[in-house]
Amino acid sequence: MAERICVAQIGGAHGTRGEVRLKSFTADPMAVMDYGALETEDGTATFEIESLRPAKSHWVAQLRGVRDRNAAEHLANTKLFVPRDRLPAAETDEFYHADLIGLAAVTTDGRVLGTVVAIHDFGAGDILELRQEGKRDTVMLPFTTATVPVIDVAGRRIVIDPPEGVFKE
C-alpha cells in the first residue's frame, strides 16, 4: 500500500493575494485541512492550509507563506500528499484510490484483462481506467458493484464483469 496519499491538487492562482484553486480528493473536501502539513510529490516542500472556501467549481485555499499571485502561479498543478497514517482507516467497502492503482483486473472466470491505472470522477460516479493486457490503450468502466463485484486489495486484484463488447477479442 502507498505510504503517502495524494489528498489535493493545486489548479493555479486565484486572485492577486496568493490564494490558489484547490481540488480536494477527500470524501469531504473540507477534511483536507484536518491532515496538517501537505507535502509535494517529491517531498521538497510542505504547505499548510490557513483557510479554505468553496467557489463555483473548485475550492479556494490560502496557503501559509504564499502571499502573492506569482508565488501561487508557481504552484500550478502541484499534487499534495500526506502520510497514510494521518488518514482514517477505510470503512468496509471503501478504498483509497492509491490502493487500487496497479491491481490486476481479471474476469469472473480468471482471465487477465489488464491493470488498474486510475480512478476518475467526472461528476456522474467513479470510473475505473484499465490498461489492457499487452496493449497501450486503456478502457474506462463504471466503478460499480455490478461491473467490479470483487476488490481484493490483499490479493492485489479486482474481478471485473465487463459490459458486453467492451473488450474486443
Beta-bridge mates of residue 83: 4
97-160 CATH: 2.30.30.240
Domain boundaries, the chain: 4-85, 97-160
What is the percent of the chain with per-residue pLDDT over 70, rounded to a whole number? 98
pTM: 0.77
Burial of residue 37 (number of CB atoms within 10 Å: 0-12, 13-18, 19+): middle
Task: Note the pLDDT tens digit of each residue in 97-106.
Answer: 888 999 999 9
Task: Note the pLDDT tens digit of each residue in 103-119.
Answer: 999 999 999 999 999 99
pLDDT band at 12 (very low <50, low <70, confident <90, very high): very high
Strand duo 49-54 + 46-47: pairing: unpaired
Options 2.40.30.60, 3.40.47.10, 3.40.50.720, 2.40.50.100; CATH for 4-85 is 2.40.30.60
